[in-house]
Chains A and B, each alone.
Chain A
């Protein structure tokens, strides 16, 4: 069955429709892969029953000629999405054992289109992290290894590191991710897969455990650009239960998908050329520019002058919102509760949250509480909001000169697990190229573009105008067609 598990979403969908195989065969193939790859720690829970039930429903549907957009396609679901009847933890002890009675809008749409769920994917705790090391259930290990034989365990990126690792290791053909400051794009780049964060508001946030509400956005992660387009069409759409959801029709992105960029202007922001960026990344960026030209695009230099303030602003706004969003995990109604002998309410809060949250989550709650507190609010939060407005304006001005931006996705290839854990700032710097698009709510995508000298994947990022997912996907496809990225992690697990 291993050949089925090498298929893309489009391949599974089409083969299933053609009757080349049953959905159950596909599901069983991937369930076997998942069971055989526990060394990667990509899943918090495995849910083969869900995948099988969806597959059986798809097979029954096919018998009467009924197909959903994702019939026969099993997926991994990031454990930030609430799934009815299946434990949802956000990779935190504080939610261990929590089983939602409701289905997030995005997963409901996916399952409604026929997809099944292979399991809940591991991630950085509450999506806070860039390496998966903040998970309360142990870090995910990337399937990729350096080609120097050091055997070092590498980070799959974060926060959607379970998603990226599982797709790269062929444990699932696609997965959901969420992106607050780069949590889809950076792990996609680290593991040689594709992932897109749509325009803020395209995907409903209803039923997704909140990290930073004004930034959180779900998106698909998959092996290639076409699969991303297929999944994005299912995942997006207006949801009256989310006040920030965009009330717009969902375009038919996959039908319009084209790698022909004639007439398109691609901007190259000079501020993304940061100090200490490895020459290999710079070289890849230049290669990307050449591919864009080859696809017919015109290259223009643009400036996004406030880029250097993006990261500090992000690390004020996101923790501020998180400090408030995570107040509900108090041990009163669900999840973990620590009740020391003789404890009062405040003692219960303190004990529950001390035991339930990991260090990085606590760090961000404290930062967020600090920047919102009386006397500091204007100096930090108000100032960060001004920066955010300036960054959005930078992009608006760039759009007068170009249609899209091309940048590296991350300033390095995957780093070793443990390498940056001791230094939160070094870890935060990993988001330097992804955060600005998040602050501006823009669609952005990472596609695999090559390998570095150590044999590790590198990604290129395309940032688009608001609502121009089509442009982003098209440019992604143009890179994909030219990069010919076929490398995959050698199986060691």
Chain B
């Protein structure tokens, strides 16, 4: 149980949060038309006759969107409804050419499921927590109005219109902004593993309607408000924080919470009333007569399940238990599918698991942060990284040489072996060469040799440094140590 409480003037309040996440289904074509879903095309480039709701046009369900929704449901252990149906949600708006959105109110494709959010002491989540998912249904997205193109007119862009969305409706199981944030991050992680949504919140591929109410500990649920279309994890957390505080203020001042739809203003981090229940639409939902009920065959479900990848929780456990990777590194690497995929390619190319995990979470992530890049546009491939780690493992490169080589790899994109060869960065264990250098250094520093032998053992580091310097950093430090000791004790 979260210990998050709002300290009001009259005492403590609990917050109850439910999220409806709209996730754009990854598919080439729209939910009911063959138009492209590509982001960033010219306005109205991705519009078919069906999307524009021309007279006599009819929807045809895109099988891939169904497959993705079913796989998503399976990934959260949800009930898959073999019989579902599409309903029309009727309302007038210029971004909705049909005058209705095709959705699933009465019989959604996915029923009850759940996902686990991880413990995060710092964020006030002392233990892992299961968040219930009530349902997932498939629906059409709307288009977009553009108000900034003309002084007195609004323009309509229908590129998004008809794109497939999953609406993933949670139970009101979250009780702090941190839990809500963790839920969205976990959901996003699962969607990206499954490949059913790219989770790109900046491009609008994922957005959340945030339901918030407050209550005294142990009391009945309070009246909730719904803040629409919040499009980042941070904004979701801010919206909850603001909205819960606002509700407490209203209640403590003797007021009542109005069930209403609100909007989040990201510039000021506040929510504002959009419309109250009284003037809420009557959507006149009814079964879409242009579409037959959706019936899923067993073979289809079997294929969907077989196509599911290893999911983040299972992968993390395997990394820890079977590969012996630290819990921290396993968390970090499995959080996003791209990182996990990169890591597994690294292992497949021969890297040792623990060394690879440590290198990835320290060296690689450090470099990516510095460069402002993500793992998907990393200038070094996992195969090259495996080669680098192999050079360390076989003693060709010391740790510090490896860092230098990696820097050059990041800049040039060249293979580490080539860099080492061409720049002569190989670490040497050639005892003859090292002995010769040591002999020269000891001869040139006879006074210090005397002091060392007289008991000033701290001077050992000085001899190591001098030797490494003379060898331009390429001597194997262990060999240097051994040979130095032998020479000084002679």
Q: Which residues of A pack against B, CB within 8 Å?
A: 81-82, 88, 90, 95, 98, 100-102, 104, 205-210, 212-214, 240-244, 320-321, 323-324, 326-328, 330, 332-334, 345-346, 349, 369, 372-374, 377, 381
Tell me if A333 and B58 are in contact (CB < 8 A). Answer: no
B49, B53, B56, B100: most-surrounded residue (chain A CB, <10 A):
B56
Say if the beta carbon of B59 comes within 8 Å of chain A: yes
Tell me if A244 and B54 are in contact (CB < 8 A). Answer: no
Task: Report if A244-B292 is in contact (Cβ < 8 Å); known contacts: A100-B55, A372-B284.
Answer: yes
Say if the beta carbon of B99 comes within 8 Å of chain A: yes
User: Which stretch from B21-29, B90-98, B244-252 is at the chain A interface?
Assistant: B90-98
Residues of B within 8 A of A207 (CB): 56-57
Tell me if B90 and A206 are in contact (CB < 8 A). Answer: no
16 pairs across A/B with beta carbons < 8 Å? A82-B56, A206-B58, A209-B55, A244-B289, A244-B290, A321-B286, A323-B90, A324-B99, A326-B99, A327-B100, A328-B97, A328-B99, A330-B92, A369-B284, A372-B90, A373-B282
Q: Which residues of B pack against A, CB within 8 Å?
A: 49, 52-61, 88, 90, 92-94, 97-100, 154, 156, 282, 284-286, 289-292
Tell me if A243 and B60 are in contact (CB < 8 A). Answer: yes
A346 to B93 CA separation, bound complex (whole angstroms):
8
Tell me if B55 and A345 are in contact (CB < 8 A). Answer: no
A379 to B284 CA separation, bound complex (whole angstroms):
14
Task: Report if A349-B282 is in contact (Cβ < 8 Å); known contacts: A208-B56, A327-B100.
Answer: no
A206 to B57 CA separation, bound complex (whole angstroms):
6
Task: Report if A332-B290 is in contact (Cβ < 8 Å); known contacts: A98-B55, A372-B284.
Answer: no
Q: A244-B291, A324-B99, A327-B92 are in contact. List 13 more A-B contacts (CB 8 A).
A: A209-B56, A210-B290, A213-B289, A213-B290, A243-B61, A243-B291, A320-B286, A323-B284, A327-B98, A328-B53, A334-B54, A346-B92, A374-B284
A271 to B292 CA separation, bound complex (whole angstroms):
31
Contact of B94 among A81, A212, A345 (CB under 8 A): A345
Residues of A within 8 A of B282 (CB): 373-374
Tell me if B100 and A90 are in contact (CB < 8 A). Answer: no
Residues of B within 8 A of A100 (CB): 54-56
Nearest CB of B to A105, in Å = 9
A207 to B100 CA separation, bound complex (whole angstroms):
19
Nearest CB of B to A87, in Å = 12
List the A residue with the shortest CB-CB distance to B50: A241
Tell me if B99 and A330 are in contact (CB < 8 A). Answer: yes
Tell me if B58 and A324 are in contact (CB < 8 A). Answer: no
List the B residue with the shortest CB-CB distance to A104: B56
A60 to B404 CA separation, bound complex (whole angstroms):
80
The 9 lowest CB-CB distance pairs between A and B, nearest first, are A327-B99, A372-B284, A213-B289, A214-B289, A328-B53, A207-B56, A209-B55, A82-B56, A374-B282
Residues of A within 8 A of B292 (CB): 243-244
Contact of B58 among A90, A243, A321, A374 (CB under 8 A): A243
List the B residue with the shortest CB-CB distance to A88: B55
Residues of A within 8 A of B59 (CB): 243
Contact of B286 among A88, A244, A324, A326 (CB under 8 A): A324
Task: Report if A102-B284 is in contact (Cβ < 8 Å); known contacts: A205-B56, A213-B289, A244-B292.
Answer: no
Nearest CB of A to B441, in Å = 84
A321 to B290 CA separation, bound complex (whole angstroms):
10
Residues of B within 8 A of A214 (CB): 289
Tell me if A210 and B56 are in contact (CB < 8 A). Answer: yes
Task: Report if A373-B284 is in contact (Cβ < 8 Å); known contacts: A241-B58, A321-B289, A332-B94.
Answer: yes
A320 to B88 CA separation, bound complex (whole angstroms):
11
Residues of B within 8 A of A104 (CB): 56
List the B residue with the shortest CB-CB distance to A215: B289
Tell me if A327 and B289 are in contact (CB < 8 A). Answer: no
List the B residue with the shortest CB-CB distance to A245: B58
Tell me if B55 and A328 are in contact (CB < 8 A). Answer: yes
Residues of A within 8 A of B156 (CB): 332
B59, B97, B282, B289: most-surrounded residue (chain A CB, <10 A):
B289
Residues of B within 8 A of A242 (CB): 58, 60
Nearest CB of B to A374, in Å = 5
Residues of A within 8 A of B88 (CB): 324
Residues of B within 8 A of A334 (CB): 54
List the B residue with the shortest CB-CB distance to A242: B58
A90 to B55 CA separation, bound complex (whole angstroms):
10
List the A residue with the shortest CB-CB distance to B34: A241
Residues of B within 8 A of A321 (CB): 286, 289
A88 to B292 CA separation, bound complex (whole angstroms):
28
A40 to B80 CA separation, bound complex (whole angstroms):
58
List the B residue with the shortest CB-CB distance to A240: B60
Tell me if A324 and B52 are in contact (CB < 8 A). Answer: no
A214 to B59 CA separation, bound complex (whole angstroms):
14
A409 to B99 CA separation, bound complex (whole angstroms):
36
Nearest CB of A to B427, in Å = 66
Contact of B97 among A98, A320, A333 (CB under 8 A): A333
Residues of A within 8 A of B53 (CB): 328, 333
A81, A212, A323: most-surrounded residue (chain B CB, <10 A):
A323
A242 to B49 CA separation, bound complex (whole angstroms):
14
A374 to B277 CA separation, bound complex (whole angstroms):
13
A240 to B56 CA separation, bound complex (whole angstroms):
14
List the B residue with the shortest CB-CB distance to A98: B55
Nearest CB of A to B488, in Å = 87
List the B residue with the shortest CB-CB distance to A207: B56
Tell me if B58 and A328 are in contact (CB < 8 A). Answer: no
Nearest CB of A to B467, in Å = 78
A88, A98, A102: most-surrounded residue (chain B CB, <10 A):
A102
Nearest CB of A to B279, in Å = 13
A369 to B281 CA separation, bound complex (whole angstroms):
13
Residues of A within 8 A of B57 (CB): 206-207
List the A residue with the shortest CB-CB distance to B59: A243
List the A residue with the shortest CB-CB distance to B95: A332
Residues of B within 8 A of A333 (CB): 52-54, 97
A243 to B31 CA separation, bound complex (whole angstroms):
13
A241 to B390 CA separation, bound complex (whole angstroms):
57
A330 to B53 CA separation, bound complex (whole angstroms):
11
List the B residue with the shortest CB-CB distance to A201: B292
Task: Report if A206-B56 is in contact (Cβ < 8 Å); known contacts: A102-B49, A214-B289, A328-B97.
Answer: yes
Contact of A102 among B54, B92, B286 (CB under 8 A): B54
A65 to B289 CA separation, bound complex (whole angstroms):
44
Tell me if B55 and A95 are in contact (CB < 8 A). Answer: yes
List the A residue with the shortest CB-CB distance to B286: A372
Contact of B90 among A209, A210, A241, A324 (CB under 8 A): A324
B55, B90, B282: most-surrounded residue (chain A CB, <10 A):
B55
Contact of A381 among B49, B61, B286 (CB under 8 A): B286
Nearest CB of B to A197, in Å = 17
Nearest CB of B to A487, in Å = 36
Nearest CB of B to A276, in Å = 33
